[in-house]
Chains A and B, each alone.
Chain A
């Protein structure tokens, strides 16, 4: 019934503006859209221990969506239909179903813009609010409500929103999640003050306030204490309830300065007491600092960024935790590099919202062409270093009532302190060079430290550090103008976890329509001999205009898929995968 109402509302929103604004279908009306279908057929694989039973007899999985966008002048409406029948392996089974989880209608009049329905929004770098979606991650925290933007004068942009977040297919009801409210202001000083209009230094300032209201649950703790009266054992049973905040507020301030090739951005955020399942119900306030400095000029790019996070998990339901990380109000930027090559991304980093110091530095330098070391076409060198460590924490005594840190301030820390525990370290050096008209070569070396206990199991020690050395050779040979052959050779060497890996990919492209590939990832160094498995894949794809089909058959290894520090666990599987994407 609700779905019908939504669809009717959407059709209403599509049709009515035509009558209101122009009493007919406007000439400038435009409908665009895109579709993606990912389908997998799973087969049993005794080597991976996959049977019909472990698959829960779901031999077929399909994730698909269709976006539709209608624009007519200042009016816009859109919707996304999704179908998870059944959700593919590695996606949360609570997605199972079909429906329209996303629809909106919006209009702009003068300097005022309003969106009703579902929307995505971000304040600053997202430290206190970011609503976003990523299909590959199965992540969607869209907000359902109202979003307004207003620019009273040139250079000032104000945003205000109120709504509830998506939680799989579950409709909002009082108590099943909170209501998110927020306000943001962005001030471009060069536009506001005429004296600064032509200044070479560009400055913008911003500030945000976000709060959530949640009808909080009752958390009770019962303490028994025995005592003796006249040689009789008595028990005093005391029941305590946690005073959970109905409203949790946060604020952030940011500044962006740029001059020529330099750009500096800094944002500081604080969050009020927010006991939740992620921070084990401590009442400490949260804080975060994110900054980046970049410089770019012809042939050279330098990017440095750092972040310091303390207790910044911020969700619209305080009992929500686990994977996928649903109902996140904010986003803690990941400052580790996302690698392209499969073995280099075998051990990706997931942001630790309870406390983390991070640093990333990257230099891109193009060795000049027509030189001895640069070669005829020049060579692009990329050096990246990422580091994530704990922050210093002086843990306070456990609460005698809860028997844990729950109900206490949790710990004490100093702002910008860095702890001893390394979560993640990644050094990579890549050299990309076009040798001649036929050959193109990329060489890469990666050295990584991956704290498996911290990143995968929230166990804060150094007992399971995976140290890896990875080398990549990527060679492309252009046979003709339309035909090319590409080969990837990768090696990963490690004494920990699953040991050594080797990978080979051969890809044949017939531009612009066809590709064929064969790939094998071989875990030849796995300490468990029976797990020394070839993950063999073969694939082909065909592109026609804006539609692309691809088919892949083979094994998929288990592991984390991380995008922007948000991760999804993917189990091992074997089968046939079909992907269709199309747009109009």
Chain B
């Protein structure tokens, strides 16, 4: 019996590991998407705009915070890069982490964070500001890319093959403050793996104080600093919706999806934009390797 004991324990352990597994489901159905749209758009007032992306564009996710003293100079550099590569470099500011926490009874009491920003900050292990994810690729073994490498990585990504064209159409219904976003994607190459379509809403031109240590930009506290493309929320789920569940993408295939989203009343609708991108699902990081991105403002009047 004694000599059999190790066998016995080993056998039981293996059996327990393989045998006992069960998922108890308490809520069988989950609401994953909700959209509102007029049954007949001609019945109500709406404004529409669209953009078509035909060449490879690059997404730079700028992790920042209003207490990050180095961030204004990074923002300035980014602004120049965007101007240089217009319209192929698209970015939004992810206010998250300790540098983005509001300070009550101070100039920094505004809260530009969102639950989505915090999720991205945590999931991608952001450890410093300013730092960026560029197309969520790895550069020198890291996805978190410092400002010194932003130009290099952006240039590299701009040179990469274009795998998809994308059309974004925003239809804004002022009476309900709802934007309906239609995204159409045509794939140009065969792609292996599972890809998701992600749509976020950002707000531009938010004027709010920002700490600074670059005298060429201004004083230590920039009271009227203009924050660009602040990430507000996900219109799709945080890491998007499956484009090709269970199979690879074949060149020539197409995908389209409609989203509907009611904007927060505190946001200025005419400053809001939708940003749509396609990325590859990743075992632990949810979504990486962005192959295409597009940006479109929300048109709120007839001009």
Contacts and interface: CB of A to CB of B under 8 A. Distances in A.
A183 B43 contact: no
Given A112-B7, A183-B15, A234-B39, A272 B22 contact: yes
A217 B247 CA distance: 12
Given A273-B24, A402-B29, A234 B176 contact: yes
A241 B30 contact: yes
A209 interface: yes
A153 B1 contact: yes
Contact of A235 (B27, B38, B242, B246): B38
A210 interface: yes
Nearest to B8: A152
B28 A249 contact: no
Contacts of B33: 237-239
Interface in B1-53: 1, 4-5, 7-8, 11-12, 14-16, 18-25, 27-40, 43-44
A320 to B, nearest CB: 16
Contact of A209 (B11, B19, B176, B242): B19
Contacts of A243: 25, 27-30
B252 to A, nearest CB: 24
A184 B29 CA distance: 34
A229 B176 contact: yes
Contact of B25 (A235, A249, A273): A273
Contact of B19 (A112, A183, A221): A183
Interface string A377-404: 0000000000000000000000101100
B171 interface: no
A237 B257 CA distance: 13
A247 B18 CA distance: 11
Nearest to A239: B33
A85 to B, nearest CB: 30
Contact of A248 (B5, B14, B22, B36): B22
A211 B15 CA distance: 11
A107 B27 CA distance: 46
A158 B260 contact: no
Interface of B: 1, 4-5, 7-8, 11-12, 14-16, 18-25, 27-40, 43-44, 175-176, 242, 245-246, 260
23 contacts: A111-B4, A152-B5, A158-B11, A175-B246, A209-B19, A217-B246, A220-B32, A221-B29, A232-B38, A232-B44, A233-B39, A233-B40, A234-B37, A234-B38, A236-B34, A238-B33, A239-B33, A241-B30, A245-B24, A247-B22, A272-B22, A273-B25, A401-B29
Given A160-B19, A211-B19, A237-B37, 12 more contacts: A152-B1, A160-B14, A182-B19, A183-B15, A213-B21, A238-B34, A239-B33, A240-B29, A243-B27, A246-B23, A272-B24, A275-B28
Top 5 nearest A-B pairs by Cβ distance?
A249-B22, A183-B19, A245-B23, A183-B15, A181-B18
